[in-house]
Amino acid sequence: MEFYSDDTGAHTDFKEKMTYGDYLQLELLLDSQKRLSDHHDEMLFIVIHQVSELWLKLMIHEIEAATEAIQKDEYQSAFKMLARVSKIQSQIIQSWDVLSTLTPAEYMEFRNFLGNASGFQSYQYRLVEFVLGYKTPHIVKIYEKNPTLHKRLKTAFEAPGLYDVSIQALSKQGFSINQHILNRNFFNKYEQDPTVEDAWLEVYRNKDTYWDLYQLAEKLVDIEDWFQQWRFRHMKTVERIIGHKTGTGGTSGVGYLKKVLDHYFFPELWEIRTKL
């Protein structure tokens, strides 16, 4: 706890003099928007991306806690956290509407100042993928030269993700899940499995019996649904502003964003919709 000296020289607990700005460290936060150009709209670009990173930080915080809660069979706590994640996602999606007010001509006024900086380099976005259960090993290698980030990513990469513990929850409830799924190294990419699909089918066909698992499944679908909407708005915003140009980080831009629209974190939960 921090202390300060008042006019009498006595030490007083800092919280008694805590201000709004002190608590939120607003001086530091609001001094973090450093434009590299003189263009008016660069401020919009910086703020949107910084706000998105703050939301991603909260998403990771909530998903990791929900994962731990599911492992402890504390479903109601997990549901609250996962519902919050979906609300956060809705906020991030709306940020694309604000960024879309940036026209191609305006963006080109300061784009060269970005150098090789690209949203694809967001380590927090990759952390979100990892904590959901989608693992890509080459991402971890990218950050080997930064020990702090590398350790953070590697820890999440090797740990069970949200979908991994959800599948474990199916097994705990008596469903027969292939052992190679339950006992696999969690840094291996998850592959769709028929026993997992059969288990989710049974949950949906008997939702009153498996009410907690049914609610869990719907929370996962909510998150994936919002994630796909975020990806779509990202792709359309990029297309609106730079068309099909190569991204600042050398990526294929819109082409890559269109491709990942077909990726699913929780594939069996979407497959069963056709079979119910």
Domains of the chain, start order: 1-31 (no CATH), 43-275 (1.20.58.480)
Kindly tell me if the per-residue pLDDT of 179 is higher than 60.
Answer: yes
Whether 11 has a pLDDT exceeding 60, the answer reads no
Mean pLDDT of all residues in 33-62? 97
Higher pLDDT, 16 or 164: 164
Mean pLDDT, range 20-31, rounded to an integer: 96
pTM above 0.85, yes or no: yes
Q: Is the pLDDT of residue 64 over 80?
A: yes
**Tokens for 41?**
């709209």
Angle at 240 between CA 236 and CA 241, to 5 degrees: 120
pLDDT the model gives residue 88: 98
pLDDT digits (tens, 9 = 90+) for 84-141: 999 999 999 999 999 999 999 999 999 999 987 877 789 999 999 999 999 988 889 8
Pairing of strands 3-5, 11-13: antiparallel
Across 40-52, average pLDDT: 97
Q: Where are the beta strands (DSSP E) in the chain?
A: 3-5, 11-13
Q: pLDDT by residue (tens digit) across 197-224?
A: 999 999 999 999 999 999 999 999 999 9
Residue entry with tokens 């998403």: 59
Asked if pLDDT for residue 7 goes beyond 60, the answer is: no
| pLDDT for residue 150 | 94
Place of tokens 């784009």: 111
Contacts of 198 (CB under 8 A, 6+ apart): 175
Residue 249: predicted pLDDT: 63
Asked whether the predicted pLDDT for residue 10 surpasses 70, the reply is no
Mean pLDDT of the chain: 91
pLDDT at site 189: 87
What average pLDDT score do residues 9-17 get? 61
Q: How many helices (H) and strands (E) does the chain have?
A: 14, 2
Res. 271 pLDDT band, cuts 50 70 90: very high
Task: State residue 142's pLDDT score.
Answer: 87
